[in-house]
């Protein structure tokens, strides 16, 4: 028995490290859990990308749920996410609002012209000031906000077809079921 | 002669390197030196959410620059260090703090090392006791040496 002890200790360590590797393949170790989950979304008032004279506030969007997608033309992973959003937008069940983050409006428009726009509404946060209130630290990030303006789900990083099917759509379905 | 030249060149390069590094973080219009020190102290305690191995003070990520500007703005408004930390934690969670607060979710983090230490101490204690018990009955040196082989 005593002779086996070091081996058992070694196997425990193998198990521990193996668990660590497995855990990190399932979870993004850099994703910061948002403290805003199930709390009211921060108030904002941002200009529309195509009509900067008009602004959109949180109050304007109350009454119907929406998926707020933070993107930028400089963000490489947004290009990965874009076709997924474009394919999903018509059957998403909620309005898709584009949040153009720290981008020159001309760059954003050129990018959307080249790739197409899945968004029903586009707002621009050129300075990134409002994004701090949302706890945004990169792009892409997506917030599911319900009709009462509460953040129901957040995804950090690109929405892949797998994330869409296993996380985003169930979150939307759960939200719509609860508050028709 | 050439050695002096080389030495001067070396010093000049060193100074230049320092200057370039200082340029990486844009200067801010601090009220006085005390406020600048307070800003430096505070931003060194906070983690950049984008590149989590860097402090807000060191990081060159766009979000770190934005957050530094925001912290500067809050300081001008007369907010205390704790209020600024609360402001950031409300948006970016405890991850932004390099010194995590003591709460149920971080008990393992705070007391885990102590548990492992106690576990190790327990194993050592048990081993010593066992060896003493075995050693008390043993009369020959060979037996004790044989027992020691297991460890």
Q: What's the ipTM? A: 0.83
Distant-in-sequence contacts of B79-84, Cβ < 8 A, 24+ apart: B81/B38, B81/B42, B84/B42
Same-domain check for residues A48 and A24: no
Same-domain check for residues A24 and A39: no
Using alpha carbons, list the distances in angstroms from residue B114 to B10, B107, B108, B125, B128: 48, 11, 10, 16, 21
DSSP readout, A106-145? HHHHHHHHHH----SEEEEESS-HHHHHTT--SS-EEEEE
Angle at the Cα of A151 from the Cα atoms of B84 and A81, rounded to 5 degrees: 100
Same-domain check for residues A80 and A54: yes
Q: Do B66 and A35 touch (CB under 8 A)?
A: no
- pTM value is 0.77
Q: What are the pLDDT digits (tens) for A26-75?
A: 887 778 888 999 999 999 999 999 999 999 999 999 999 999 999 999 99
Same-domain check for residues A52 and A125: yes
Same-domain check for residues A54 and A138: yes
Chain B residues within an 8 Å CB radius of A27: none
Measure the CA–CA gap between B116 and B100, rounded to whole angstroms.
20
Domain that holds residue A65: 33-178
B99 at the A interface (CB within 8 A)?
no
A30 at the B interface (CB within 8 A)?
yes
Q: Do B91 and A135 touch (CB under 8 A)?
A: yes
CATH number 1.10.8.640 is the correct assignment for the domain at B30-101: yes
Count how many domains chain A has: 2
List all residues 6 or more positions away from A107 whose beta carbon is below 8 Å from its beta carbon. Answer: A73, A74
The neighbour count for residue A36, using CB atoms within 10 Å, is 20
Domain boundaries, chain B: 30-101, 106-148
- Per-residue confidence of chain A (180 residues) as pLDDT tens digits? 678 889 999 999 999 999 999 988 888 777 888 899 999 999 999 999 999 999 999 999 999 999 999 999 999 999 999 999 999 999 999 999 999 999 999 999 999 999 999 999 999 999 999 999 999 998 999 999 999 999 999 999 999 999 999 999 999 999 999 865
Q: Do B70 and A132 touch (CB under 8 A)?
A: yes
B95 at the A interface (CB within 8 A)?
yes
Same-domain check for residues A88 and A14: no
Same-domain check for residues A75 and A20: no
């Amino acid at each position: 028995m005593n002779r086996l002890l070091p081996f058992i200790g070694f196997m425990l360590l193998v198990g521990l490290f193996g668990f660590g590797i497995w855990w990190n393949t399932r979870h993004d170790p850099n994703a910061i859990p948002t403290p805003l989950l199930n709390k009211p979304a921060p108030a904002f008032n941002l200009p529309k990308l195509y009509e900067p004279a008009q602004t959109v506030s949180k109050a304007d969007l109350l009454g119907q749920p929406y998926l707020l997608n933070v993107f930028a033309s400089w963000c490489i992973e947004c290009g990965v996410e874009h076709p997924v959003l474009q394919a999903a937008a018509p059957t998403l069940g909620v309005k898709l609002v584009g949040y153009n983050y720290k981008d020159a409006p001309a760059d954003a428009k050129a990018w959307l012209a080249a790739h197409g726009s899945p968004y029903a509404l586009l707002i621009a946060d050129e300075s990134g000031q409002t994004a701090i209130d949302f706890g945004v630290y990169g792009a892409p990030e997506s917030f599911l906000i319900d009709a009462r303006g509460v953040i129901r789900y957040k995804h950090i990083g690109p929405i892949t077809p797998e994330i869409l099917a296993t996380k985003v759509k169930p979150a939307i379905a759960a939200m719509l079921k609860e508050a028709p | 002669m050439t050695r002096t030249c080389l030495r001067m060149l070396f010093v000049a390069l060193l100074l230049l390197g320092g200057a370039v590094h200082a340029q990486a973080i844009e200067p801010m219009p601090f009220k006085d030196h005390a406020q600048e020190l307070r800003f430096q102290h505070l931003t060194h305690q906070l983690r950049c959410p984008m590149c989590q191995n860097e402090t807000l003070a060191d990081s060159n990520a766009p979000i770190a620059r934005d957050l530094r500007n925001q912290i500067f703005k809050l300081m001008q408004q007369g907010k205390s260090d704790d209020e600024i930390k609360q402001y950031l934690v409300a948006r970016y969670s405890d991850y932004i703090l390099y010194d995590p607060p003591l709460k149920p979710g971080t008990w393992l983090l705070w007391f885990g090392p102590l548990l492992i230490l106690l576990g190790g101490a327990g194993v050592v204690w048990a081993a010593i006791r066992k060896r003493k018990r075995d050693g008390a009955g043993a009369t020959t040196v060979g037996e004790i040496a044989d027992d020691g082989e297991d460890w």
